[in-house]
A and B are shown apart, each in its own frame.
Chain A
Amino acid sequence: MNTHPESAPVSSVTLNNIVKRFGTFTAVHKANLEIPEGAFVTLLGPSGCGKTTNLRMIAGLLDPSEGEILIGGKRVNDVPIHKRNLGIVFQNYALFPHKTVAENIAFGLKYRNVPKSDVARRVQEALDLVQLPDVGHRYPKELSGGQQQRIALARAIVIEPEVLLLDEPLSALDANLREDMRVELKRIQSKIGVTTVFVTHDQSEALAMSDKIVVMSAGRIEQVGTPEEVYNTPASEFVANFLGASNILAGACVTKDADAALLDVPLFGSVPVPADKAPAVTAGASAKLVLRAEKLVLMAPGSDTSGMVTAEAVVETVDYQGQTVRYFLRVGDRQLQAINMIDGRPFAEGQSVTAAFRPQDCAALASA
């Protein structure tokens, strides 16, 4: 596909110091991002953090206030949307209601000098790819939500876009369908290998689908990493809490060497955190221990806790969730959260337990 292999761009989309202001409000602060060719990258963050704004700037639907956007190594700040060759899938499908499904999919081909004989074939291939081979003659309103979203995807990829942009494409679908579409979307993306920027506020969607997750908060990029990295080694308290529940214990780093940072935290005492999960902490400075709720295990008092850090706790609230149960515990003057698989019977409210975790399951942050 690439006709200039010697100058193949390493990055398909690049944001250089992008700032976007709406009046006096800054929606995106100095965003820097490199999206590699063929990658599935997710912008993840709570509603209003600037995900859509970023995506619309890449698309050319918004002009950045400052900074540069590069697509395929070329600066596109001054290239209007219709010349950027991008596929966009919107939350509410945005199909053309007055055109049939086939006409919808063929729309982008009209502007690409595709011979008439090829148009029908490519439309059919796209329909096959999204597994709706027989709906070409129908109008969008005659399809279900999930089907409409597949057609929107087919319409976006049939033009062989340089980048595929998806803004919360699954959030208008109901829960079961969303799971199916998630798998389907990922299958299609890997099959055609198109560079994809996906926007969602749903952390499980992001963790399941992405090669790389960009966690955003209040217009700032908090962390960029693989799902494992952002999950296991959050770069900030925000990331730790946004990707599942975490307990944050403020303490200090006593010593640090190549293997581990030794943290001293209230309730649990000394915790040796692996050095690679405590990149920012320095010896002698204050630090925070990130303890994921899934890693804090409840045990009957007197159980074998070798290799674990423990504290005595009392169960305050039991939130039964089927396969798992969420506990709120009282440990000293703190309330902590634990999410455990149910093994036999869950602990009861008011019960005294031992709360334990393995230090290698923790991460540490420098205190701000």
Chain B
Amino acid sequence: MEGRFNMGWTLIRGWAVLVYIFMFLPVAVVVLLSFNASQFGNFPMTGFSFRWFVELAGNEAILRAFRTSIILGLLTALISTTLGVLASLALVRYRVPGANAISTLLIAPILVPEVVLAVALLLFLNFLGVNKSFGLLLAGHVIFTLPFVILVVQARLVSIKRDVEEAAMSLGASPVQTFFQITLPLMMPAVLAGGLFAFTISFDDITGTLFWKPGGVETVPTQIFAMLRNSISPEINALGTVMIVMTVGLPLLGAAIARAMARKSGT
């Protein structure tokens, strides 16, 4: 009996390991090959080199895509976080009529497949007779990242007791002063986390971006996509590695900062 039970678990564990290998092996391969000295992205590797990273740094198109992605990511993070904080405050702290419906609506973009969302937004703008622009791309990214910010910030806000804010007001702080003195500092870890989420999601989004971006504008993912159509150059491996470092490293950095802040304030 016990033996069969153990064997079941061993199988499940083995399966899980296989799934992880299947998912992460390609990533590992990309990272490895990005340091390959040879022209061709093939095994066996011929030597270790940073030459593809150096070439990346000299590639105008890629640098432009990087700039676009970073500006887009930062603006998305800024706008999403601001809107997300305001929406969470309204939903958690004030009795808004139809709060449940609004909440569902704001979270919905996570539940809808991204392609559907992308096409819908495009059709809607067509209907309004608006042309594609950087503003539209930004709007798309904001809509798409907002739910993540709201989920993180709302969870935090719910755990901040109302009586702490009431205490601040009783001591003479106006509602606005109370927000900046008490509520915002206590929400900060979640706000930072939400912002990082938004930046990271925006930074490596491709589906929506392909639909929304105006002609001539490329982000890093769409640039990679375009380059792939011509050839698989080792530069792409290097670019992929940079993307991996950013999208994995940033959230880790954010989590570390949030932990340090929490340790200080004891919340």
Bitwise interface map of B from 163 to 181 toward A, beta carbon under 8 Å scored 1, else 0: 1101111111111011001
**8 Å CB contact of A111 from B161, B164, B167, B173:** B173
Asked whether any CB of chain A lies closer than 8 Å to the CB of B266, the reply is yes
**Pair B170/A59 contact, Cβ less than 8 Å:** yes
Q: Cβ of A251 < 8 Å from any Cβ of B?
A: no
User: Contacts A92-B163, A94-B167 hold; do A139 and B266 have CB atoms under 8 A apart?
Assistant: yes
With A111-B171, A112-B172, A155-B171 as contacts: A98 and B166 at CB distance below 8 Å: no
B267 at the interface (CB under 8 A from A): yes
- B178: chain A residues at CB < 8 Å are 82
B261: nearest chain-A partner, CB-CB: A98
A227 part of interface (Cβ distance < 8 Å): no
Q: Does A142 contact B (CB under 8 A)?
A: yes
- Is B185 part of the binding interface, using a Cβ–Cβ cutoff of 8 Å? yes
Choice from B172, B181, B264 contacting A159 with Cβ under 8 Å: B172
Q: Is there contact, CB below 8 Å, between A81 and B166? A: yes
Contact residues, A71-107 vs B (CB, 8 A): 80-88, 90, 92, 94-98, 107
A155 and B166 CA atoms in complex are apart in Å by: 13
**Would you give the shortest CB distance from A56 to chain B, in whole angstroms?**
9
B172 touches A96 (CB 8 A): no
When C-beta atoms are compared, the residue in chain A nearest to B165 turns out to be: A94
Which listed residue, B170, B174, B175, B186, touches A86 by the CB 8 Å rule? B170
Q: Say if the beta carbon of B56 comes within 8 Å of chain A.
A: no
The residue in chain B whose Cβ has the minimal distance to the Cβ of A84 is: B170
Q: Is the CB of B172 within 8 A of A142?
A: no
Which among B164, B174, B265, B266 is the interface contact of A82 at CB below 8 angstroms? B174
- Interface membership of A141, Cβ < 8 A: yes
Say yes or no for B182: interface residue by CB 8 A criterion: yes
Interface residues on A, range: 20 to 34
Q: How far is the CA of A59 from the CA of B172 in the complex (A)?
A: 12
Cβ distance B172 to chain A, nearest Cβ, rounded Å: 3
- B36 CB to nearest chain A CB (Å): 49
Q: Mark B256-267, 1 if CB is under 8 A from A, else 0.
A: 000000001111
Instruction: Evaluate whether A107 and B168 lie within 8 angstroms (CB atoms) in the complex, with A98-B186, A139-B265, A141-B266 already known.
Output: yes
Contact between chains at A87 and B185 (CB < 8 Å):
no
Q: Evaluate contact between B172 and A98: CB separation under 8 angstroms.
A: no
CB distance from B146 to the nearest CB of A (A): 26
Q: Which B residues lie at the A interface, using CB under 8 A?
A: 161, 163-164, 166-175, 177-178, 181-182, 185-186, 264-267
16 A-B residue pairings within 8 Å (CB atoms):
A61-B166, A82-B173, A90-B167, A92-B163, A96-B164, A96-B168, A97-B164, A97-B186, A97-B265, A97-B266, A107-B171, A111-B177, A139-B265, A141-B266, A156-B170, A156-B171
Known A90-B167, A94-B161; 16 more pairs at CB < 8 Å: A80-B174, A81-B169, A82-B172, A82-B173, A82-B174, A82-B178, A84-B170, A87-B170, A88-B166, A92-B161, A94-B164, A98-B185, A107-B171, A108-B171, A111-B177, A141-B266
